[in-house]
């Protein structure tokens, strides 16, 4: 990995790396916040837990770095933060044929595409679950067996889906304003049609990338999913559909804490307002403290 920037921050370092991702067949960037404990651990045998944060549509790895305000508490907790990009990028990577913002570059949807021309590059699921933890733990003092997963909007969808599919890989899961039921909303339907196909057979495979459908189909976590949404979010009912997630969790017995925050919207102002709750949720799940 090539270090392309580093900034001192709350006693730790906010770094940005460039690497060639084999699963994406492209170069990509990832931002990593190393708390003070990780910097001292680089010369010892210790490795720290990390929270992987998945960002939303149109974002890159830098949105959460600059807007979420997570570094202060992460420094206190001794929790590393990993923020990958939201999709593969580059001239060789196809994007939305119509040039729209809700598909293609910046909109990888954290799945493994099956359709041409997307299937070669759009493999964010395999990248986040397999390649990225292996690459980071080989280069930095991060423990690949103590990973949490969180995200915002499309990234919240990714956190729910990957967390339900891989409960042994990710020991804690949370989401802010997630796309809960992508098979039933315009953003998800567009992405799934391109990436997976739109035949009846293909639509059956959509369920493997849908948080609500995964719960309906028997995927469970023993720990509690933490989800926050804002009542003033303009995408709440049509695109996010948190009520569908709540109903599915209640039917199958999946522990879920879903909080609706009065007056909050979809922006990173909301993310910054709830980020401490999410960091403490993951710190508990990753064994940093019991409070």
Which residues carry out catalysis? 153, 233, 266
Q: Phi, psi (5° rounding) for residue 107? A: -145, 60
CB burial of residue 43 (10 Å; 0-12, 13-18, 19+): exposed
Q: Detail the DSSP E strand segments found in 55-195.
A: 80-84, 142-152, 170-176
H helices, E strands: number in the chain: 11, 9
- Sequence length of the chain is 291
Print burial letters for 50-83: b (CB count within 10 Å at least 16), e (below 16): bbbbbbbbebbbebbbebbebbebbbebbbbbbb
Distance CA 68, CA 48 (A): 21
User: Token pair for residue 12?
Assistant: 């730790």
């Amino acid at each position: 990995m090539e270090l392309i920037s580093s900034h001192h921050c709350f006693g730790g370092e906010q770094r940005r790396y460039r690497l060639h991702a084999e699963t994406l067949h492209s170069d990509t960037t990832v931002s990593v916040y190393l708390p003070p404990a990780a910097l001292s651990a680089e010369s010892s045998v210790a490795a720290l837990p990390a929270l992987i944060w998945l960002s939303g549509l149109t974002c890159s790895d830098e949105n959460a770095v600059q807007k979420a305000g997570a570094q202060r508490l992460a420094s206190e907790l001794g929790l590393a933060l990993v923020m990958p990009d939201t999709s593969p990028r580059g001239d060789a990577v196809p994007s939305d044929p119509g040039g729209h913002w809700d598909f293609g570059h910046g909109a990888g949807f954290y799945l493994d595409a099956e359709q041409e021309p997307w299937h070669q590059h759009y493999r964010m699921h395999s990248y986040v679950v397999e390649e990225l933890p292996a690459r980071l733990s080989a280069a930095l003092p991060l423990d690949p067996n103590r990973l949490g997963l969180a995200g915002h909007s499309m990234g919240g969808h990714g956190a729910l889906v990957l967390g339900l599919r891989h409960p042994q890989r990710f020991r804690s899961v949370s989401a802010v304003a997630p796309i809960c039921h992508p098979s039933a909303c315009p953003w998800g339907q567009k992405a799934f049609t391109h990436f997976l196909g739109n035949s009846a057979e293909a639509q059956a495979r959509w369920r493997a990338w849908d948080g609500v459908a995964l719960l309906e189909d028997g995927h469970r976590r023993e720990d509690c999913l933490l989800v926050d949404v804002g009542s003033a979010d303009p995408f709440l009912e049509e695109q996010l559909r948190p009520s569908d997630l709540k109903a599915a969790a209640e039917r199958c017995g999946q522990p879920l804490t879903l909080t609706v925050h009065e007056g909050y919207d979809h922006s990173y102002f909301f993310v910054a307002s709830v980020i401490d709750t999410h960091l403490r949720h993951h710190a508990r799940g990753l064994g940093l403290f019991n409070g």
